[in-house]
Amino acid sequence: MGYKAKFGIKKREKGINVTPFVDVLLVVLVIFILTSNASIPGIEVNLPKASNSTALEKPKTKAITIDPSGQVFLDAYPVTMTELEDRLRTERATSPDFPVIVRGDAQVQYARVVEVLDLLRRLELAQVGLVTGKAQG
């Protein structure tokens, strides 16, 4: 009888099967995307708590941190107020609409934070955010 089996050994097509390679690349891409925006560099400070907060993390975000002693840092580098103004002016000249976040320790004097915010207002930076921690409970 001329009965042909539907199941059995199939001939392999010539060429390389790239499907497993594409799967591995997609997994690596997802892992890279999730870890690339994990944190903003800066100094560890004790943040005050707020009931509702929004994330302003973007790749070009500049982080200004004020530690408990009142020292100001720009992206983890200590700066004076004059240096901070000069560096922010330089950054504004290259990209005029970059976001800035201010991270002030809960124990820092309020006048120091206002001094930094006043500097940002004079530089006419529109995207300014204050970082807070999440409230307990």
- Domain range summary for the chain, segments of one domain joined by +: 60-131
For residue 124, give every residue at least 6 positions away whose Cβ sits within 8 Å of its Cβ, in sequence order, or none: none
Q: Is the pLDDT of residue 8 over 70?
A: no
Taking residue 133's Cβ as centre, other Cβ atoms within 10 Å add up to: 13
At residue 52 the predicted structure's pLDDT band, cuts being 50, 70 and 90, is: low
Average pLDDT over residues 67-90: 89
What the block records as the tokens of 23 is 């799967």
Tokens 């050994």 belong to residue? 9
At residue 57 the predicted structure's pLDDT band, cuts being 50, 70 and 90, is: very low
For residue 58, give every residue at least 6 positions away whose Cβ sits within 8 Å of its Cβ, in sequence order, or none: 99
Provide the CATH number for the domain formed by 60-131 in this structure: 3.30.420.270
